[in-house]
Amino acid sequence: MTIPSTAAPPAAHEAGALAAQAKQRKRGGRRRPAISRRGELLTGYTFMTPWIIGSLVFTLGPMLWSLYLSFTDYHLILGGDFIGLDNYTAMFADPMFSRAVKVTLLYVVLAVPLKLLASLAVAMLLTQKRRGIGFYRAAFYMPSLIAMSVGMALVWKALFAADGPQDQFMSLFGWEGGGFIGNPDVSILMLVLLSVWTFGAPMVIFMAGLLQVPGELYEAAEVDGAGKWHRFVHITIPMLSPVIFFNVLMETVHAFQMFGPAFIIGGTAGGPAWSTLFYTVRIYALAFVDLRMGYASAWAWMLVLAVGVVTLIMFRAAKNLVYYAGEDNK
């Protein structure tokens, strides 16, 4: 986020320079020498230096280092040697790998659609013209500001404890499974719920998308006798499809990276009984409990690869599913 925002000033600077050049040309003055343009570029990059250095040192560097580590048996303390692809092949024989993948996929499949449905539904409610709509928008966005915090995970833990609010409420309807915290069959649902509850970010994007849909389309459809449902399916959804695609993509990528709340609620062991053993939680345990940094790095790069493939598939699928207004969609 910081890089684009800092990139803006030099860009504005350059625009200013171009305008100045144009002015000079109008007055019949000679073109400014290329050297000063280069000087301005230099100024621009100089201003960006802290962020360029930051991303090289703190993001790109460590990433490349971890890529290298993934081909070694690097032990956090004892060091390690190059072992080629052994880590990657070992992964498929690792019983914890398939568990972690299953838990993570289950979470992605549950959390992403539910969260998007919730955010779209609320976005549609909040784009109506009502009194006090600003208040409602703020209120619905609020959970997203606090939810991924440690505090909220702890509150969640209390809500889903044995004899906690969830247990007591569900017991009224004959539930005998106790608190979700101690029940491996349903514990993941509590994390899905936490994620659904924090639909603020996609909601805001949906709202922006909904407000962009031209009103004439609805009016025309209404004249043609289309009901609410038809207008939603045949106008809202297609017009919104680029936004839906964006949200699906972002939320899927986020869901694959689920870590904080799972780590706080289930610990490094992904308790109870590995039911919240998310892929990233396992990476953490491999790296900082087992100290097998090389192997943990291989896991991390496998995740990068998997998310990349999923993203690619989505882009392919989107070609036929997403409608861009003004484009000739064959």
**Pseudo-torsion of CA 18, 23, 25, 31, nearest 10°?**
-50
Query: Minimal distance in Å, beta carbon 87 to another protein?
Result: 11
Query: Minimal distance in Å, beta carbon 179 to another protein?
Result: 7
Looking at the Cβ atoms of 78 and 172, the one nearer to another protein is 78
Helix (H, G, I), strand (E, B) or coil at 75: strand
Burial class (CB in 10 A: 0-12, 13-18, 19+), 240: buried
Q: CA dist 323 to 122, 159, 202, 211, Å? A: 23, 42, 19, 17
Looking at the Cβ atoms of 137 and 292, the one nearer to another protein is 292
The contact set with another protein (CB under 8 A) reads: 73, 75-78, 95, 161-162, 178-179, 181-184, 267-269, 271-274, 285, 288-293
Looking at the Cβ atoms of 200 and 270, the one nearer to another protein is 270
Looking at the Cβ atoms of 115 and 292, the one nearer to another protein is 292
Query: Minimal distance in Å, beta carbon 82 to another protein?
Result: 15
Looking at the Cβ atoms of 69 and 118, the one nearer to another protein is 69
* Residues forming a β-bridge with 79: 75
Q: CA dist 142 to 134, 160, 180, 318, Å? A: 12, 21, 25, 31
Query: Minimal distance in Å, beta carbon 117 to another protein?
Result: 31
Query: Minimal distance in Å, beta carbon 32 to another protein?
Result: 19
Looking at the Cβ atoms of 54 and 272, the one nearer to another protein is 272
Looking at the Cβ atoms of 54 and 267, the one nearer to another protein is 267
Query: Minimal distance in Å, beta carbon 33 to another protein?
Result: 17
Query: Minimal distance in Å, beta carbon 189 to another protein?
Result: 16
What DSSP line would sit under 127-147, residue for residue?
Answer: TS--TTHHHHHHHHHHHHHHT
Q: Are residues 122 and 203 in contact, defined by beta-carbon separation less than 8 angstroms? A: yes
- Which of 190, 151, 153 shows the shortest CA–CA distance to 170? 190
Q: CA dist 170 to 157, 162, 163, 254, Å? A: 16, 11, 10, 30
Kindly report the backbone phi and psi dihedral angles of residue 295, in degrees, each rounded to the nearest multiple of 5, phi listed first: -65, -40
Q: CA dist 320 to 114, 171, 182, 231, 313, Å? A: 23, 47, 44, 21, 12
